[in-house]
Homo-oligomer: A and B are copies of this chain.
């Protein structure tokens, strides 16, 4: 994550991950989820914070989920069901369940199918937010599979040359195991910047870089600019401008729309404006393609080669997606997760409102 998004040192309060897990699970349960679902949701969010992906951990998202449960847009006890199934596929109606919680179930279903026939693909419609989708992809990687996930939902991103928001930030993630190297874990919005990074920038007061957002008439803003309020900007696809490749970011975003929305039998948000998210979970059983040992050795060699790449002037090292997340996790497991003091305040308010024990900090 760029330095500008990190919680400034003087605003940090460190929280042990076990304590954060307990409090988050208790909040989910107060929202009406089952005990097991609460634990699953807490695991997804806190693991995400452990990986340093604080845009998608408890800070930005949990309060939105609480709001969703309170307003009824999220269903804490969804009667989710498989509406179509084949040996390698399933399509799930999430019945407004939060995909943070249903995502791991869908991925485990994909993993089971991949174990049987080589590949498993599960799509899910009519769902809530899925958190950091890389988390779900990692569930497959931990089972000696390649995991791939994507999500579609929202209309905050303008297509290339467009003056109206049509696309969500529609992230795509892939995870793959190695032998000795930390796993490859790539998880990125197909917009120039993740929507949650804008929220984070607002909180830490960081300006936005050229090519990240557009004026409301669609003109890309090509100089550094202060964060704006929602409704005063549109987001741009990865690339920013056509010359810099925004048509590719736009295309990757449509890949999410096809795999997550269309393949689950539902219209894109740009058509139905319904506010639901749609998700895609794929697991590839590595052993169905090649020897698992060969795969892991090849991954190790590739990831090691990337790490050993000579850095360009002004840079300390070359990393690969998943490496700094792994390192961050070791550090945060030992020293706690740094939350912004404003987030700690929110936890104070919500635990008191819900009559829960206060969040234990370090």
Binding site for B on A (CB under 8 A): 2, 84, 86-89, 91, 114, 116-121, 123, 146, 148, 158-164, 166, 172, 174, 176, 184, 186, 188-190, 192-193, 209-211, 214, 217-219, 238-240, 242-245, 247-252, 254-255, 257-259, 261-268, 270-271, 284-286, 288-291, 294-295, 298-299, 301-302, 305-306, 309-313, 315, 317-321
Q: Are B318 and A160 in contact (CB under 8 A)?
A: yes
A256 to chain B, nearest CB (A): 10
Point out the residues of chain B lying under 8 angstroms from A267, CB to CB. 298, 301-302
Q: Are B311 and A262 in contact (CB under 8 A)?
A: no
Point out the residues of chain B lying under 8 angstroms from A91, CB to CB. 289-290
**Of B117, B161, B174, B312, which one neighbours A117 at CB under 8 angstroms?**
B117
**Of B158, B259, B305, which one neighbours A312 at CB under 8 angstroms?**
B158
Point out the residues of chain B lying under 8 angstroms from A189, CB to CB. 248
Point out the residues of chain B lying under 8 angstroms from A120, CB to CB. 119
Copy tally for this chain in the complex stands at 2
Point out the residues of chain B lying under 8 angstroms from A302, CB to CB. 257, 261-262, 267-268, 270-271
Q: How far is the CA of A263 from the CA of B292 in the complex (A)?
A: 9
Q: Are B289 and A264 in contact (CB under 8 A)?
A: yes
A81 to chain B, nearest CB (A): 14
Q: Are B174 and A255 in contact (CB under 8 A)?
A: yes
Asked, given contacts A298-B261, A299-B262, A320-B159, whether A254 binds B288 with beta carbons under 8 Å apart, the answer is: no
A219 to chain B, nearest CB (A): 6
Asked, given contacts A87-B117, A123-B289, A166-B306, whether A209 binds B243 with beta carbons under 8 Å apart, the answer is: yes
Point out the residues of chain B lying under 8 angstroms from A119, CB to CB. 88-89, 119-121
Q: Are A258 and B162 in contact (CB under 8 A)?
A: no
Q: How far is the CA of A146 from the CA of B295 in the complex (A)?
A: 27
Q: Are A289 and B251 in contact (CB under 8 A)?
A: no
